[in-house]
Chains A and B, each alone.
Chain A
Amino acid sequence: MTQVLGEDIESIAPEVQGSHWPIVLAIALTLVLVGLTTVLVISLAGLALALVALVAWVAQRFQGPSLVDHAPASVLNGASQGAGEAVFEAPLEVFTIQSSRWGLVWFIASEAIFFANLIAAYLYLRVSSQTWPPAGGPHLDLLFPSVNTAILLLSGIPAYYAHRAIKRGDIRGLRIGLVLAALLGAVFLVGQGYEYLTAGFTIRTNVFTAAFFTLTGFHGAHVAAGIGILLTVFLLSLRGRFSAQRNFAVEVASTYWHFVDIVWIVLFTILYLAQ
């Protein structure tokens, strides 16, 4: 028992040892900034590189044999012994997933706080101005955005279903759910693009329209990211990476997707319903 950590500690590290994708991703994001202060093409190149780096980052996690396969049997059996000895109560995979789950919680929390700040800024402007929307400001039409909202909310169901399916080991259900959710999300984005183009006002019109485009724009970017995550998980599912026991990536995709949905409910309420 004492030998477990003495010998194997390096082979059962919690994550990939050594990776150049962190620095590549950091360079890519910096290129985006450089482009914004010089020529825009550099930003686009930076975005493309960032996308590659993100995909590679995720792929690296899924490379090679699973950690569980390699952990010593004593670790998997949840052996826990006396003082000074190696102690694992659960498979290593569970440890990293519990950390990852906390990571997901705090990541979403930080995003939620960001949106809360945007919304607080909007409400501050609204409360402190005499008329709202300011002079010449538009009155938003409700019908089309309501339909679009329904589509986005509907997409939460297949996302939920996908996660439920893989927990039963139903890979086919997982794939269908993921694709359906991504598809509905894409329809929402197209609808939002259509709304932007036919709005009859621009970000320059007044502070309401600036806030409208900023808030919905950031949300739209998050929907796009969510679609990216759903599709990435879909691709991984094609390569048979998930099972009833191993499906944390699905949990990430579906949780994030629900988060994006909830943010939209708040935005829709304060931007459209409470005009």
Chain B
Amino acid sequence: MTGYGETVPSLRAEADVWTWITTTDHKRIGILYMVSAFVFFLGGIVEALLMRTQLAVARNTLLGPDAYNQIFTMHGTTMIFLFLMPMQAGLANYVLPLMIGARDMAFPRLNAFGYWLFLFAGLFMYSSFLIGAAPNAGWFAYAPLTEVQFSPGLNIDFWALAILLLGISSTAGAINFIVTTIGLRTRGMSFNLMPLFVWATLVTSLIIVFAMPSLTTGVVLLLVDRRLGGTFFTPGDGGDPLLWQHLFWAFGHPEVYILILPAMGVISEVLPVFARKPIFGYSFIAWSSVAIGFLGFTVWAHHMFAVGLPIIVQALFAASSMIVAVPTGVKIFNWIATLWGGQISLKTSMLFAIGFIGQFVIGGITGVFLAVVPFDWQATDSYFVVAHFHYVLFGGALFGLFAGLYYWLPKFTGRLLDERLGILHFFLILIGFNLTFFPMHLLGLMGMPRRIYTYAPGLGWDNLSLVSAVGGFTIALSVSVFIWNFFSSLRHGQAAGDDPWDAWTLEWATTSPPPPHNFSTVPIVRSRRPLWDLKHPENPDWRTAQPARDASVESKEERVDAGPRRGY
């Protein structure tokens, strides 16, 4: 109907390699990010399958200890730095400028630079497999194990150097998102009217800018130790291995929110559209992201309860960790209230969004368990922890990403994905995921440590480990269903049209895929659902009470005219 777009350029017609290499278009960069991240995702899956196969039976000999160390280190590093973060960067890259009615990101070339740096850093890290020296000290690379006297090979150097570049890449991307959100919102779109995905991306980017330097600092000091003979993390001469843990987790815990907040942003877009209701408690969802982002910086030492910090310090960090559950709970209740009484349409995207809520709650609750110091002493470094963070990062972040992909892929490709295959994908991954990770709670409580490459029979771990392996292959099967669905949709998919979900945010106001300049006319925003206003001129949101305190239409219109000057 009354879209802002005009022509429908085909991706295929512009498949000239050089234009992709030199592109500064946020949509193309977004696609590059997502495709590359997905390829790394497949690598991470292969590594996971190797681990699950190795542990499926006791005393398996598929992988030796050294190979196993490399595999689990690369699995964690890949999924966090080379899949989840760049995948979300890709999604936000494509969607965020459209959602705020902008022509592009604020710094298009910096955007391209961030992508290429991520790609090459990832390839550099993976090139370590070629010389059999992949990183092997776990994704949090604890000193002094990573010091040169214990890890003399190049393994850790590959990890540390690649992490440096990835830090630059994600900081560049984050600054770009912040500036774009601050400066390029279309006319009338105050912060209070931004889509919640934009809020989530903004807060995520702020966390990246504030947290990433801690990791960079740790890695720099580690490299000084390894390459120049420093002693930062070696006891004696005044060095301290705990310094690494502080620096790492001062980054590492905010990183958890870097991974989960974008997924929460996706959920906050998907739920209202498929429940046919405006989001419930917009301000609470937006500001709880800010609260989570802030609190995320105050909880890092709960990763270090077993290292002998003073009791009072542990108590404080336990308390702050539990407080994080409050803004998280606020979000959960608002999402449920959004669903309440809605006309729910169970499209694949919606299924993933609902799956997100259920599984994320499980991960959140075990997170509160682990914040309790005595319980943490019991469960730390066991499979219970592995189960916990996979419920958050897989059941949470990944499900949120798939919800976003099923929601926005039609915008990117112009084709709808097949719903039946989508539902098959959803149920396979739901079953596979729970088969893989639920038993890990039990294994952990039965004393199975994480990161062991094999175990003796008769410890009671065999059956559950086998179940976990079966679950792992079910996940792999479900992902191949998704890949099949994606490629077949490109050929045979039903045309999506501008607005297949009858949605309310600006990205659906232009064509699918959008023209290079996104919008032919600069959209004007007067409410949180600008596209609803456009479709229902007789009953626009801004005429009714949203936001509630703007009583009169006149004052609303005044506000728009005096609103933030924005454009291109």
- Within A195-253, the residues touching B (CB, 8 Å) are 202-204, 206-208, 210-211, 214, 218
> Contacts of A89 on B, CB cut-off 8 Å?
565, 567
Report which of A22, A83, A113, A132 forms a contact with B116, defined as CB distance below 8 A. Answer: A22
Cβ-closest chain A residue relative to B212:
A110
Task: Contacts A18-B23, A21-B109, A134-B237 given; indicate if A27 touches B116 (C-beta within 8 A).
Answer: yes
Assembly CA distance A23 to B112 (angstroms)? 7
Binary B-proximity of A91-135 (CB < 8 A = 1, otherwise 0): 010010011101100110110011011100100110011001110
Check if A99 sits within 8 Å of B124, measured CB to CB: no
Cβ-closest chain A residue relative to B223:
A36
Binary A-proximity of B81-117 (CB < 8 A = 1, otherwise 0): 0000000000000000000000110111110110111
Check if B231 sits within 8 Å of A9, measured CB to CB: no
The CB with the most chain B CB atoms within 10 A, among A15, A60, A208, is that of A15
- Within A4-33, the residues touching B (CB, 8 Å) are 5-6, 9-10, 12-23, 25-27, 29-30, 33
Assembly CA distance A272 to B201 (angstroms)? 42
Check if B521 sits within 8 Å of A125, measured CB to CB: no
Give how many A residues have a beta carbon under 8 Å from the other chain's beta carbons: 71
**B148 CB-CB contact with A under 8 Å:** no
Check if A103 sits within 8 Å of B157, measured CB to CB: no
Check if B239 sits within 8 Å of A125, measured CB to CB: yes
> Contacts of A134 on B, CB cut-off 8 Å?
237-238
Number of residue pairs across A and B with beta carbons under 8 Å?
Answer: 212
Shortest distance in angstroms between A108's beta carbon and chain B's nearest beta carbon?
A: 10
Shortest distance in angstroms between B47's beta carbon and chain A's nearest beta carbon?
A: 21
> Contacts of A33 on B, CB cut-off 8 Å?
121, 124, 161-162, 164-165
Assembly CA distance A121 to B516 (angstroms)? 46
Q: Is the interface of A mostly helix, strand, loop or mixed?
A: helix
> Contacts of B108 on A, CB cut-off 8 Å?
13-17
Shortest distance in angstroms between A1's beta carbon and chain B's nearest beta carbon?
A: 11
**A269 CB-CB contact with B under 8 Å:** no
Cβ-closest chain B residue relative to A96:
B106
Give how many B residues have a beta carbon under 8 Å from the other chain's beta carbons: 75
> Contacts of A6 on B, CB cut-off 8 Å?
520-521
Binds A, one of B171-179, B281-289, B345-353, B412-420: B171-179
> Contacts of A106 on B, CB cut-off 8 Å?
175, 178-179, 209
Check if B521 sits within 8 Å of A14, measured CB to CB: no
Shortest distance in angstroms between A92's beta carbon and chain B's nearest beta carbon?
A: 7
**A88 CB-CB contact with B under 8 Å:** yes
Shortest distance in angstroms between B222's beta carbon and chain A's nearest beta carbon?
A: 11
**B456 CB-CB contact with A under 8 Å:** no
Assembly CA distance A30 to B122 (angstroms)? 10
Assembly CA distance A230 to B110 (angstroms)? 21
> Contacts of A146 on B, CB cut-off 8 Å?
none
Cβ-closest chain B residue relative to A87:
B187
Interface residues, chain B, with chain A CB atoms under 8 Å away: 19, 21-24, 103-104, 106-110, 112-113, 115-117, 119-121, 123-124, 154, 157-158, 161-162, 164-165, 168, 171, 175-176, 178-180, 182-184, 187, 209-210, 212-214, 216-217, 220-221, 224-225, 227-232, 237-240, 243, 246-247, 250, 516-517, 519-522, 524, 565, 567-568
30 A-B interface contacts by CB (under 8 A): A5-B522, A15-B107, A17-B24, A18-B19, A18-B23, A19-B109, A22-B113, A23-B112, A29-B117, A33-B124, A37-B154, A37-B158, A37-B161, A87-B522, A89-B565, A95-B567, A99-B179, A99-B180, A102-B179, A106-B209, A110-B175, A113-B213, A116-B213, A117-B250, A132-B238, A134-B237, A203-B224, A207-B239, A210-B224, A214-B220
Q: Across chains A and B, which 4 residue pairs bring their CB atoms closest together, nearest first?
A: A26-B116, A210-B230, A22-B113, A22-B112
